[in-house]
Amino acid sequence: MTFILSDVQNGVMTLTLNRPERLNSFNDEMHRQLAEALTQAERDDAIRCLLITGEGRAFCAGQDLNDRNVDPNGAAPDLGASVENFYNPLVRRLARLPKPVIAAVNGVAAGAGATLALGCDMVIAARSVNFIMSFSKLGLVPDCGGTWFLPRVAGRARAMGLTLLGEKLSAEQAHQWGMIWQVVDDEALIDTSRALAAHFASQPTFGLGLVKKALLASENNTLDAQLDLERDYQRIAGRSDDYREGVAAFLAKRPPVFKGK
Amino acid sequence: MSELLSRRNDRVLTLTLNRPQARNALNNALLEQLADALEAAQSDDSIGAVVITGSERCFAAGADLKEMASRDMPATLNDPRPQLWARIERFPKPLLTAVNGYALGAGCELAMLSDIVLAGDNARFGLPEITLGIMPGAGGTQRLIRSVGKALAYRMVLTGEAITADQALQAGLAAEVCPAALTLEYAQKLAARIAQHAPLALQAAKTALRQAHELSLAQGLQQERQLFTLLAATSDRQEGIAAFLEKRPAAFKGR
């Protein structure tokens, strides 16, 4: 079964979560296929933007609970194993990928599906979409980076409310709260997210990668440490081909042609 | 192309491990070249400090396993390797390592033998010998525990698992973490700053610091005072203090 549809065109890799009959919820095989696609995204310099979306009416409903039948007489399951083997590496790899990652949230995003979207760099959601931090309804903890991203993107009070109550959050509300980049009408989602991806694929990717890295580092750094890091990254960025091209194009009053290096 | 590249910038000598096909594995031949290069630098008054580095992806990923596998117990007993390490350790001038990527096994031991480690943010330090049915054989069990303490040293040596650059910084193994693309450059800048100072003072200070792990505190303090007294007999000391009082840069002569 192909649970991840992968399509690379003009510098954009589009990954489509493809278990529509199961609302694109994750099973182990889907994780493995996604990991394989990410390896390609990491290694191929020609890929300059990653776009993640879902097939059918959902974005992703998180972990497939059908794989998680708990035998009342058996030993307690080790949910930490799939977090350690699949979800954590996935979140780390998306955060460290030195190119922009866009989530085009086409339908419901629940559980790890919701927190996965929040871990992407740019989130565009269709207006009808809901985000559901459903973990607490099962007695679980938000994983896939949820407890880290939520207080940072929504603030502590909202993170508490969202995760303790586990209720639906509309895309509009998520946008108003600054949790996602943009809300668009459902029928405009594909075009809007593709246009953004195409834009990124023509941009100075090396510099954008450093921007991501700097923002990630800022979460742990003091101001002093971050200022040093900005000095270092600017030194490196200033030596990139794209910076030369950007300045040359500006001075010549022509559009720049960035190579991503 | 030589397996050890050598480059001079003013008073700083940079030695680059260059066996990319073997991930810079430190075989006896390469260790010997390193020892030779350091001994040459020792007697060259125009060299003030040395930086050892590897590539941007790999500092040195260990010893040469093929070489090691061919040595049985008697051959290992008479292996010239410990002498090679001792020659490297005897280098009396400031020795820095700029570590990007893997510093494993002998690579980690070489970094720990150096006076100052600058780590790239992609650096990994580890002693995976245990996974091969052996153990560290060039200071790994001794220098590691002295710099990072018991908890981390036992963990690293007994599991063979590597630590990141940030962990190495926190534990006191690395002096600084920089973006990998800048590690060598920053190490060379630091070496250049160090190399401006009076050579005899640097040598005496390095000797005193080394003794910290060899002697008791009382003996160490006594030796420190002797070395301190020794410097009072140098003309560079007069020059250093005079230059400071006259608010001008010092011109050291190494005497």
pLDDT tens track for B201-225: 999 999 999 999 899 999 999 999 9
pLDDT exceeds 90 at position A225: yes
Mean pLDDT lowest among B70-79, B139-148, B166-175: B70-79
CA-to-CA distance for A18 and A58, rounded, in angstroms? 10
Q: Is A229 helix (H, G, I), strand (E, B) or coil?
A: helix
Is the model's pLDDT at B198 over the cut of 70? yes
pLDDT band at B67 (very low <50, low <70, confident <90, very high): confident
Name the band, by pLDDT with cuts 50, 70 and 90, for residue A1.
confident
Of residues A193, A168, A180, A177, the one with CA closest to residue A119: A180
As for the ipTM of the complex, it is: 0.85
Q: Which residues from B are below 8 Å from A when comparing CB atoms?
A: 178-179, 181-182
Q: What is the average pLDDT across B118-144?
A: 96
pLDDT of A78 above 90? no
The confidence band for A69, taking pLDDT boundaries of 50, 70 and 90, is low
pLDDT in tens, B9-20: 999 999 999 999
Partners of A261 on chain B (C-beta within 8 Å) are none
Residue in chain B lying closest to A220 (CA): B166
Is the CB of residue A195 less than 8 Å away from at least one CB of chain B?
no
Q: Please tell me which residue of chain B has the smallest CA distance to A213.
A: B179
pLDDT digits (tens, 9 = 90+) for A164-206: 999 999 999 999 999 999 999 999 999 999 999 999 999 999 9
Q: Is A166 left (phi over 0), alpha (psi -120 to 50) or beta?
A: left
Q: How far apart are CA A81 and CA A184, in angstroms?
A: 37
Span A35-44, average pLDDT: 97
Asked whether the beta carbons of residue B178 and residue A232 sit closer than 8 angstroms, the reply is: yes
- Tell me the percentage of chain A whose pLDDT exceeds 90: 94
How is residue B63 annotated by DSSP? B
Average pLDDT over residues B21-26: 94
- Residue B6 class from Cβ within 10 Å (0-12 exposed, 13-18 middle, 19+ buried)? middle
Q: Please answer yes or no on whether A235 and B182 come within 8 Å at the CB atom.
A: yes
**In this predicted structure, what is the pLDDT of residue A54?**
97
**Residue B214: burial class (beta carbons within 10 Å; 0-12, 13-18, 19+):** exposed
Q: What is the pLDDT of residue A161?
A: 96
The dihedral over CA atoms of B193, B197, B203, B204, expressed in degrees to the nearest 10, equals: -120
Q: Output the pTM of the full model.
A: 0.89
Give per-residue pLDDT as tens, A103-151: 999 999 999 999 999 999 999 999 999 999 999 999 999 999 999 999 9
Residue B194 main-chain phi, psi, to 5 deg:
-65, -40
Write down the H helix ranges in chain B: 28-42, 65-69, 73-77, 81-89, 106-113, 140-148, 150-159, 165-171, 183-195, 199-211, 217-231, 235-245
Residue of B nearest to A236 (CA): B181
Looking at the predicted structure, is the pLDDT value of residue A12 above 70?
Answer: yes
Residue among A136, A139, A128 nearest A169 (CA): A128
Q: Which of A211, A236, A243 to mutate to test the interface with B (most CBs of B within 10 A)?
A: A236
Instruction: Test A236 with B181 for CB contact under 8 angstroms.
Output: yes
Give the pLDDT score at B224. 96
How many A-B residue pairs are in contact by the CB < 8 A criterion? 8
For residue A67, pLDDT over 80 is answered with no
Q: How far is B178 from chain A (nearest CA, A)?
A: 8
Strand order in the sheet with B163-164: B58-60, B102-104, B124-126, B163-164
Confidence of residue B1 (pLDDT cuts 50, 70, 90): low
Position B191 confidence tier, pLDDT thresholds 50, 70, 90: very high
Q: How far apart are the two ends of chain B, measured CA to CA in Å?
A: 38
d(CA B191, CA B8): 12
Q: Is A42 on the interface with B (CB under 8 A)?
A: no
Angle between helices A156-165 and A146-154 (to 10 degrees): 130
> B140 near B108, Cβ under 8 Å?
yes
Nearest-angstrom CA–CA distance, A99 and A199: 12
Is the pLDDT assigned to residue A65 strictly greater than 90? no
Task: Give yes or no for residue B168 having a pLDDT over 90.
Answer: yes
Write down the residue that tokens 């460290």 correspond to. A96
The total of other beta-carbon atoms located within 10 Å of residue A158's CB is: 18
Q: How far is CA B230 from CA A82, A154, B85, B203, B223, in A?
A: 64, 64, 28, 11, 10
Residues of A whose CB is below 8 A from B182: 232, 235-236
* Gap between the Cα atoms of A171 and A184, Å rounded: 9
To the nearest whole Å, the CA of B30 is away from the closest chain A CA by: 31
Q: Indicate yes or no: CB of A236 within 8 angstroms of CB of B182.
A: yes
Does the pLDDT of residue B74 top 80, yes or no? yes
Considering only residues 203 to 232 of chain A, which have any Cβ-Cβ distance to chain B shorter than 8 Å? 232
